[in-house]
Structures are given as C-alpha cells and as structure tokens.
C-alpha cells in the first residue's frame, strides 16, 4: 500500500497562508481538542483486538456514534484523521481548507473537523476529537480493506501502547503506573512536533561501511525499510553493483512513490541486527521520502518481528523480539501490483506489471482480473492473503479475465533481489 501517509508540517504552513477564516478554523478546532476530557486509564491493561491487512494495524472505531469504522494505527501521523468522503456521509462539521503532503510529490486538500469525537469499542469511557478530514479513501483499494481513518500519536500518547503482532492485540497500559520487566531493550526516542518517534539506528549498505543516523519508526508503512532519496543520492546507493527492481504499487497522500527495491546488508536497532532486509531506495524529488533530516523509515516488516511498547511518556520504545525475529527476509516476487475493487474489495485487478518478472514472462497485463487461484474462486480470498501467497516461490494456476477472454496461466514467483 503506502510508505508514508502524512507530513503535517506542510499542513501548518499552508493553513497560515490561507487567510484568517481558515486560521480561525484551525484555532477553534484545536481549542476543542485541548478542552477534551482526560481519560482515566484502569490499572489493569485494556486489551483491544485488531486486524492486520497488508501488515497495517486496523482498529474498529466509532465517530459520533457511527457504525464501526476501520482506522489504521500509525506512528507516522499525529492527529486523528477521517476519510473526507466518510466525514461527509456522516454529516460531520467541516471547516476551512488544508493541504497535506506525504509520500509522493503531490498534496491532498481536506478540511478541519469540528465537534466530533471517536470512541473505541472495549475502551469504556474514552473519547478523543477527530481533527481532520482528508481524501484518503482511495488507498482502501490498495489495501483491500475499508480505510476510514488514521489514529496517530495523540491517541498513542494517552497510554503505553503494547503491540502484539502475533496475537493481533493491543494492550493499553496506564502510562503513569507502567513498569516494564520483560526481556526487551528500551531505546530512547524523540517525538517531533508532528508526533513522529525518531530513533537512532545503523544501516549497512551492501559493499559499504555502516552509517548511523536518525530514522522514524513508522508502523503505518508496510515496508521493512525505506531509505530517503537525499541519503540514497549522497551515498550513491543505487550503483550498478546493487541488484534492484522498480518499486510497484507504493502510494501515499502525495500520490505514487518513485523508487527501487533492493536490499541492505544489515539494519541494527539497539543491539538487534536484521540481516538483508528488503529495502525501498527512494527516488522521490519531494514529500516525506525526500526528507534530508532523516536517513529513512523503519516500517511494519521490521516492527512485526517484535512486541513493541510505545511509551511516549518516558520518551522510549521497548523492542521485545518475538518468534518471527530470526527469520530471513526471503521473499519471492510475482512482478504485479494488485488492487481490490468492488464493495467488498474481492475483485482483484492487476494495476502494474514488472518487466522481466514471472508475471511479464507469462503475459499478464494491466487490467487483467484474477478470478481463480488453484481452482478456488478468488472472491473467497482477501487482497492481503493473495499478496502473501505471491511472496512464496510456489506455482499457482490462475484463471484470468481479460475483457471477454478467459485465460489459464501458471505463475511461479521467484526471488528477484
């Protein structure tokens, strides 16, 4: 799906330039935020189940007593954000105009939200304001799941948030009483003014010496590691000796992401070493992945090898390795990007095809729809499952609909980097 969702600094700059009416909307919305009631956390952690879709943590949320909505938990965002179309459907009060950038070179235009709050089933007594409405609904097709909004650091900061990827559960601890006594390692972080947790890590490009610098831990990014384009260019990391392929299907609030997929020799976080992680080498000219102040983003394919404790109250994140930690980044590539269409996202359409890949070699084309996999109707799958299957070096018999034609092909993903 996406590598980076939002860069709130751009929103604040543009807001101030749009005139007094928009600035007053900005001021009144955040005055409402600061007046929201403080939530008293139980001394016993509250356990909240979540879904995983494309490695993104999805929580059920209600906004102003709405039916359950799907919000992504994202350490790369600060405020709570709702999809603009969903906000209009719910009749939320929208004011002013804001432009927000993210991964990609474009900006998205949305509005502030007034007098609306969200709640989470199972978290009795809690509510928090919804701050912004942005046009992010199109990303649902890339994820193959409803995508109604984002919860960022304003939510995370209310608790110590324990993320157990294997159990698919959050535990929300009282941040004042929390005391960690497990086997993990506590690493210091610094929260930016935009709510992003920045930590020190070390990356070793293939054939180069280790480089230590600042990274954002971004669980809203589905990748393992993304290196920002200024760092990539300065170190000339995309040299002829590095095997890479074109990045397919990546997008954020700023549109499509430009880059190459390859590997680095090692990523070291604290004392933890991850060998040969698959890496996006950004070629973006603007946006979040062109940020020269950071070396890169550490994403969900690294985070999901740990149980994480996001303890913003103490300026730290605790990394506790889980049973996935030691497994190699040994994935295959089919050479296609897919999106889920229709009301239930169960129509799987090919949106791009990589040259010299298993998909191109069997003649798959943009616009083809996968209707059957190994004799099983594709509508019985979800997009994240299908994408996961295509990361394994197994031969799949596919039935493809191309216009009025029906084709039978065999696809065998293989290691490309």
pLDDT in tens, 348-388: 999 999 999 999 999 999 999 999 999 999 999 999 999 99
Q: What share of the chain is helix, strand, coil (3-state, %, to 5)?
A: 15, 40, 45
Strands 132-134 and 81-83: parallel
- Distance between CA atoms of residues 384 and 369, nearest Å: 16
Strands 347-353 and 255-256: unpaired
Helix axes 20-34 and 8-17, enclosed angle (nearest 10)? 130
Q: Is 191 helix (H, G, I), strand (E, B) or coil?
A: strand
C-alpha distances in Å from residue 271, one per residue of 99, 146, 192, 319? 40, 37, 24, 10
| pLDDT value of residue 30 | 52
Q: Residues 362, 409: contact at Cβ < 8 Å?
A: yes
| pLDDT value of residue 320 | 98
C-alpha distances in Å from residue 380, one per residue of 247, 348, 384, 386? 28, 11, 12, 10
| pLDDT value of residue 4 | 32
**Quick check: 202 pLDDT over 50?**
yes
pLDDT mean over 54-75: 96
**Quick check: 198 pLDDT over 70?**
yes
Instruction: Assign 20 a pLDDT band (cuts: 50, 70, 90).
Output: very low
**Quick check: 8 pLDDT over 80?**
no
- Distance between CA atoms of residues 180 and 182, nearest Å: 6
Instruction: Assign 138 a pLDDT band (cuts: 50, 70, 90).
Output: confident
Sequence length of the chain is 417
Question: Could you tell me what percent of the chain has a pLDDT over 70?
Answer: 87
**Quick check: 346 pLDDT over 60?**
yes
Instruction: Assign 257 a pLDDT band (cuts: 50, 70, 90).
Output: confident
Q: Which helix (H) or strand (E) holds 58?
A: strand 56-63
Instruction: Assign 115 a pLDDT band (cuts: 50, 70, 90).
Output: very high
**Quick check: 36 pLDDT over 80?**
no
- Distance between CA atoms of residues 265 and 209, nearest Å: 10
Average pLDDT, the chain: 89
pLDDT of 146-170, one tens digit each? 999 999 999 999 999 999 999 999 9
- Distance between CA atoms of residues 78 and 7, nearest Å: 9
Give the count of beta carbons closer than 10 Å to the beta carbon of residue 89: 11
**Quick check: 304 pLDDT over 80?**
yes
- Distance between CA atoms of residues 287 and 259, nearest Å: 13
| pLDDT value of residue 105 | 58
Q: Which of 79, 126, 157, 152 is nearest to 313 (CA)?
A: 157
């Amino acid at each position: 799906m996406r590598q980076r969702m939002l860069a709130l600094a751009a929103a604040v700059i543009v807001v101030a330039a749009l005139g007094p009416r928009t600035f007053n909307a900005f001021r009144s919305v955040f005055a409402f935020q600061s007046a929201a009631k403080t939530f008293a956390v139980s001394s016993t952690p509250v356990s909240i189940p979540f879904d995983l879709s494309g490695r993104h943590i999805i929580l059920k949320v209600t906004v102003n007593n709405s039916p359950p909505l799907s919000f992504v938990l994202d350490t790369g965002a600060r405020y709570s954000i709702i999809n603009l179309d969903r906000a209009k459907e719910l009749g939320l009060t929208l004011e002013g105009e804001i432009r927000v950038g993210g991964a990609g070179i474009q900006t998205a235009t949305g509005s502030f939200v007034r007098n609306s709050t969200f709640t989470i089933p199972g978290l009795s007594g809690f509510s928090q304001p919804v701050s912004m409405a942005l046009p992010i609904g199109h990303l649902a097709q890339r994820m193959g799941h409803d995508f109604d909004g984002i919860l960022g650091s304003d939510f995370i900061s209310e608790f110590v948030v324990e993320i157990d990827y294997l159990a698919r559960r959050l535990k929300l601890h009282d941040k004042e009483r929390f005391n960690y006594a497990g086997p993990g390692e506590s690493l210091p972080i610094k929260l930016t003014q935009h709510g992003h947790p920045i930590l020190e890590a070390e990356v070793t490009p293939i054939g180069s010496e280790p480089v230590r610098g600042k990274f954002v831990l971004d669980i809203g990014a589905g990748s393992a590691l993304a290196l920002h384009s200024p760092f990539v260019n300065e170190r000339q990391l995309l040299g002829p000796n590095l095997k890479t392929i074109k990045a397919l299907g990546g997008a954020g609030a700023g549109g499509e992401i430009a880059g190459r997929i390859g590997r680095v020799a090692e990523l070291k976080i604290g004392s933890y070493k991850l060998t040969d992680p698959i890496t996006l080498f950004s070629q973006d000219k603007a946006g979040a992945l062109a940020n020269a102040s950071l070396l890169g983003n550490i994403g969900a394919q690294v985070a999901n090898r740990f149980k994480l404790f996001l303890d913003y109250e103490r300026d730290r994140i605790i990394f506790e390795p889980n049973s996935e930690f030691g497994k190699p980044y040994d994935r295959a590539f089919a050479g296609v990007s897919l999106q889920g269409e229709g009301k239930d996202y169960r129509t799987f359409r090919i949106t791009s095809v990589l040259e010299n890949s298993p998909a191109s070699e069997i003649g798959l084309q943009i616009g083809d729809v996968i209707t059957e996999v190994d004799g099983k109707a594709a509508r019985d799958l979800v997009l994240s499952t299908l994408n996961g299957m295509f990361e394994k070096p197994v031969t799949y018999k596919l039935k493809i609909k191309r216009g009025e034609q029906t084709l039978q092909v065999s696809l065998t993903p293989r290691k490309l980097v």
